[in-house]
Amino acid sequence: MLQVELGVKVPTFFDEVDWDAFFLKLELRDLLDSLTIAYSVANRDGYKQTLRGFVERALREENLQYTTDEECGLHPYIDAAFQQARVSAIASLSEHGHGAALASYQGGMNALVNDDTLTAVRSVFDAAESVFKQEFGVARLGKSEIDKNLAPRLRAYYSDRASDAGGRLIAAFGEWVNGAHSYRHADGAPEPTPPPRELAVAFITAGTAWIRWMTDTNFLQSAST
Q: What is the pLDDT along the chain (225 residues), one digit of tens a residue?
A: 666 666 677 767 667 767 777 777 777 667 777 777 877 877 666 678 888 888 888 877 776 667 777 778 777 666 777 878 888 899 999 998 999 999 999 999 888 877 899 999 999 999 999 999 998 999 999 999 999 999 888 888 888 899 899 899 999 999 999 999 989 876 667 888 999 999 999 999 999 999 998 887 765 665 554
pLDDT confidence of residue 77:
65
Q: Is 13 helix (H, G, I), strand (E, B) or coil?
A: strand
pLDDT confidence of residue 109:
87
Backbone angles phi, psi at 192, to 5 degrees: -70, 155
- CB crowding 153-176: b at 16 or more within 10 Å, else e: bbeebbeeeeeeebeeebeebbeb
Torsion of CA 192, 139, 99, 212, to 10 degrees: 80
103 secondary structure, DSSP code: H
Claim: this prediction has a pTM higher than 0.75: no
pLDDT confidence of residue 66:
73
pLDDT confidence of residue 87:
85
pLDDT confidence of residue 225:
46
